[in-house]
Amino acid sequence: MMRSILIGILVLMAVGVGFLTFDWYRRQNSGEPYGAAFTLTDHTNAPITEAAFRGKPSAIFFGFTHCPEVCPTTLVEMDGWLKQLGDEGKDIRAYFVTIDPERDTPEVMKNYVTNVSDRITGITGEPDKVFAMAKSFGIFWRKVDLGGGEYNMDHTASVVLLNGAGDFAGTIAYEENRDTAVAKLKRLAAKG
């Protein structure tokens, strides 16, 4: 059972990274910008737009607060990478965008992200707007019915990196080697 779950996670990670890379390549060749305009809500209940991803580099993870493993692991790792970078990574902005906005209200997001880090901003909003934003970033997600009114969300498990112009600058895979992840963030910070 555990081996099947691990294989499923690895397959989902590979598909997610492949899709993000393909989507970035397609957009580069079509002149279409990476990520569309959006107006959502951050975890303090303030409006947030695509302008938040401009001016400084960003690390963005799409997930949900009811996630049993991938999301909490990734957010803890992201916080650790940023701490390890210290002043070198002070300009990198970190975001956690829900793909389950029906359950992940600003209050839920605030409780979730502030228990992990003071560097990560939670983003939520109206479902159609959240899903449009996730789609514009090439993120995969789907609702998985668990029965009895319960559900889980399958989703891309990579951290998306954007440069200061808001352009795609790479990904960090789920449970990627810590040194490799930190090196990617160092490059991102150096390029601004």
pLDDT value of residue 32: 53
Tell me the average pLDDT across 126-149.
Answer: 95
Locate the domains of the chain by residue range: 2-191
Architecture of the domain delimited by 2-191: 3-Layer(aba) Sandwich (3.40)
Degrees, nearest 5: CA angle 60-62-66? 135
State the CB neighbour count (10 A cutoff) for residue 182. Answer: 19
Task: For the chain, give the percent of residues with pLDDT over 90.
Answer: 80
pLDDT value of residue 191: 87
Rounded to whole angstroms, what are the CA distances from 51 to 24, 31, 56, 174, 186? Answer: 19, 19, 10, 26, 22
46 pLDDT more than 90: yes
pLDDT digits (tens, 9 = 90+) for 147-172: 999 999 999 999 999 999 999 999 99
pLDDT digits (tens, 9 = 90+) for 60-103: 999 999 999 999 999 999 999 999 999 999 999 999 999 999 99
pLDDT value of residue 35: 83
pLDDT value of residue 158: 96
pLDDT value of residue 33: 56
SS3 assignment, position 69: coil
Tell me the average pLDDT across 31-48.
Answer: 87
The average confidence (pLDDT) of the chain is: 87
Q: Residue 129: which of 39, 25, 66 has the closest Cα?
A: 39
pLDDT value of residue 1: 54
Q: Residue 170: which of 10, 16, 17, 15 has the closest Cα?
A: 17
Task: For the chain, give the percent of residues with pLDDT over 70.
Answer: 82
Tell me the average pLDDT across 132-152.
Answer: 94
142 pLDDT more than 80: yes
pLDDT value of residue 192: 75
Between 176 and 18, residue with greater pLDDT: 176
| pTM for this prediction | 0.83
- Scored b (16 or more CB within 10 A) or e, 58-77 reads bbbbbbbbbbeebbeebbeb
Tell me the average pLDDT across 6-33.
Answer: 48
SS3 assignment, position 47: strand
